[in-house]
Amino acid sequence: MKPNPRLTADLHQVRQSIANGLIHPAEPLEQALEACEQPSCRHAYVLGAQAELRQAIAGGQGSATQLPLAGLPVSVKDLFDVAGQPTRAGSVVLQGPAATMDCPAVARVRAAGGLIAGRTNMTEFAFSGVGINPHHGTPVNPADRSTPRIPGGSSSGAAVSVALGAAWLALGSDTGGSLRIPAALCGLVGFKSTARLVPTEGAVPLSTTLDTVGAITGSVRDAVLAHEVLAQRRVHASGKTLAGARLALARTWMLDDMQAPVAAAFERSLRTLSAAGARIEEIDLGPIADLAQINAGGGFSAAESYAWHRPLLAQGADQYDPRVAKRILRGAQMTAADYLDLLSARKRWIASMEQQLQGYDAVISPTVPMVAPPIAPLEHDDEAFFRVNALLLRNTSVVNMLDGCAISLPCHAPDELPVGLMLWHGALHDDRVLELAGQVEAALAGR
């Protein structure tokens, strides 16, 4: 498929083109439908809603074009309730009835003029950063047409839907990196807001403490728009420029084990940002090293997912992806005292981290230390799978534990496999992180 060059833009540009009469409102819908039908989009969706798009094409967009999402297609991760559809969370064990109403996040997308393009595939129950699904197939990363590579997870189909033009933005979730990891590996933008800003009701939980609802988009400007829709709040810019911004470069963990393509792209980006006037200061950020001990018992995801999954496991544990069931069952070994200790340890850890981050506009890190590895070696080799999964989650999960906000944006050259650069900070620094991300995106594009 050769995309219409007038439509290879971000959502904001398409919305403006529709408003100015440069393109017909049906054109982006037709492009999305065409993309959905391509072989490369196989496994990206577990349930399509092409009928909704075709109905909109036939009936006209009406007033939707005046709304923030302008009647454009939005994909929805199979984690969220959509009225009239079952929610399976990438599994085969969930066999409940169809949802009777949209969850708040989906309702907000619809109210903003978004059309539901379909339900996207995901890691079963969102419990992996790799994106492999043994039940529904694994979406292939569009960044490499010669070698099937992982898309990243758990919002795997979400990222692929945007990368292929089968949706203009993708609704997803992030508990340890599930928006930012696939965004980084597929060359997109993934924003994890401060968790409390977007409601999680009506979404199958992984960790009620860490779960965050957000979106994968094609640009920072679209990430801002998506966040404003989902959080029902305006993002306010400070007016500060990139020149003079203080960016902390965390040495502890974040820079370890980088593959050569990631190190090259990241170091090149640091030089570009320094030349633009950003003040990049290396710091140890020692508390990060304490996370291994804090989460030694399995962390919040194991404890809280086990509490939710106990009835399902009792009825049909053999229907789970064994790799997912293994991690959920770690929660069975945690006592109430262990869980309370974990809550206390996190509170102290956040206080220590926030103290060290005072005075910085954001922290800058590689989103993940690797480019997307091939799928085949990970499908049947548990040791390789868990090694890759741990590396993919290592940097991103720090921000979830911090109750912070973070954005991943591409920093690779056009002829390279995608590499993500992550800007992050503590809770409620969302507006400054988004503002900086837009400036970083512009600086990297101009280099």
Residue 114 and residue 72 in contact, taking contact as beta carbons nearer than 8 Å: yes
Q: Among the listed ranges 45-54, 101-110, 213-222, 244-253, which one has the minimum average pLDDT value? A: 45-54
Q: Is 390 exposed, middle or buried (0-12, 13-18, 19+ CB in 10 A)?
A: exposed
Q: Quick one: pLDDT at residue 49?
A: 61
Same structural domain, 209 and 345: no
Same structural domain, 269 and 212: no
* Residue 4 forms part of a structural domain: no
- Compute CA distances 192 → 17, 133, 139, 246, 281, whole Å: 28, 23, 22, 21, 24
Name the strands in the sheet holding 246-250, side by side, starting at the edge strand that comes first in the sequence.
Answer: 45-48, 115-120, 73-77, 169-173, 213-217, 189-192, 405-410, 420-425, 362-366, 246-250, 279-283
Same structural domain, 190 and 338: no
Q: Quick one: pLDDT at residue 55?
A: 82
Domain coverage including residue 305: 246-405+412-446
Would you call 193 a catalytic residue per the annotation? no
80-119 in b/e form (b: 16+ CB < 10 A) is bbbeebbbbbbbebbeeeebeebbbbbbbbbebbbbbbbb
Over residues 138-154, the mean pLDDT reads: 97
Nearest to 134 by CA among 186, 91, 178: 91
Residues 6 or more apart from 24 whose CB is under 8 A from it? 18
Q: Among the listed ranges 53-62, 64-73, 114-123, 305-314, which one has the minimum average pLDDT value? A: 53-62
Q: Quick one: pLDDT at residue 52?
A: 78
Q: Quick one: pLDDT at residue 307?
A: 97
pLDDT over threshold 70, residue 249: yes
Residues 6 or more apart from 37 whose CB is under 8 A from it? none
Same structural domain, 222 and 302: no
Nearest to 396 by CA among 384, 387, 385, 405: 405
Over residues 85-106, the mean pLDDT reads: 96
- Compute CA distances 190 → 47, 79, 118, 236, whole Å: 23, 17, 19, 19
Catalytic residue among 77, 193, 301, 365: 77
Same structural domain, 177 and 252: no
pLDDT over threshold 70, residue 62: no
Question: pTM here?
Answer: 0.96
For residue range 392-443, what is the model confidence (pLDDT) as tens digits? Answer: 999 999 999 999 999 999 999 999 999 999 999 999 999 999 999 999 999 9
Output the domain CATH number for residue 428: 3.90.1300.10
Over residues 304-329, the mean pLDDT reads: 96
Q: Residue 165 — very low, low, confident or very high, per pLDDT cuts 50/70/90?
A: very high
* Residue 237 forms part of a structural domain: no
The token duo for 308 is 């939710």
* Residue 241 forms part of a structural domain: no
What whole-number distance in Å separates Cα of residue 143 and Cα of residue 258? Answer: 19
* Residue 386 forms part of a structural domain: yes
Over residues 99-107, the mean pLDDT reads: 98
Q: Residue 60 — very low, low, confident or very high, per pLDDT cuts 50/70/90?
A: low
Catalytic residue among 75, 91, 128, 154: 154
Would you call 326 a catalytic residue per the annotation? no
Residue 77 and residue 158 in contact, taking contact as beta carbons nearer than 8 Å: yes
pLDDT over threshold 90, residue 57: no
Same structural domain, 213 and 281: no
Which percentage of the chain shows pLDDT scores above 90? 86
3-state secondary structure the chain: CCCCHHHCCCHHHHHHHHHCCCCCCHHHHHHHHHHHCCHHHCCCEEEECHHHHHHHHHHCCHHHHHCCCCCCEEEEECCECCCCCCCCCCCCCCCCCCCCCCCHHHHHHHHCCCEEEEEECCCHHHCCCCCCCCCCCCCCCCCCCCCCECCCCCCHHHHHHHHCCCCCEEEEECCCCCCHHHHHHHCCEEEECCHHHCCCCCECCCCCCCCCEEEEECCHHHHHHHHHHHHCCCCCCCCCCCCCCEEEEECCCCCCCCCHHHHHHHHHHHHHHHHCCCEEEEECCHHHHHHHHHCCCCHHHHHHHHHHHHHHHHHHHHHCCHHHHHHHHHHHHCCHHHHHHHHHHHHHHHHHHHHHHCCCCEEEEECCCCCCCECHHHHCCHHHHHHHHHHHHHHHHHHHHCCCEEEEEECCCCCCCCCEEEEEECCCCHHHHHHHHHHHHHHHHHC
Same structural domain, 187 and 332: no
* Residue 300 forms part of a structural domain: yes
Same structural domain, 176 and 138: yes
Q: Which of 205, 231, 257 is the last residue of a domain?
A: 231
Which percentage of the chain shows pLDDT scores above 70? 97
pLDDT over threshold 90, residue 312: yes
Count of the separate structural domains present in the chain: 2
Q: Taking the mean position of all CA atoms in its chain, how far away is CA 74?
A: 14
Q: Quick one: pLDDT at residue 19?
A: 87
What whole-number distance in Å separates Cα of residue 65 and Cα of residue 16? Answer: 10
Query: What is the torsional sign of CA 373, 376, 380, 381?
Result: negative
Same structural domain, 258 and 218: no
Q: Quick one: pLDDT at residue 144?
A: 96
* Residue 238 forms part of a structural domain: no
* Residue 426 forms part of a structural domain: yes
Residue 75's DSSP bridge partners are: 118, 170
Q: Quick one: pLDDT at residue 66?
A: 87
Same structural domain, 162 and 25: yes
Q: Tell me the pLDDT of the chain averaged across its residues.
A: 94
Q: Which of 198, 231, 264 is the last residue of a domain?
A: 231
* Residue 239 forms part of a structural domain: no
Name the residue with tokens 């199979």.
Answer: 78
Q: Residue 61 — very low, low, confident or very high, per pLDDT cuts 50/70/90?
A: low
The token duo for 52 is 């909704």
Would you call 77 a catalytic residue per the annotation? yes
Q: Residue 1 — very low, low, confident or very high, per pLDDT cuts 50/70/90?
A: very low
Same structural domain, 53 and 171: yes
Q: Which of 167, 201, 231 is the last residue of a domain?
A: 231
Same structural domain, 306 and 385: yes
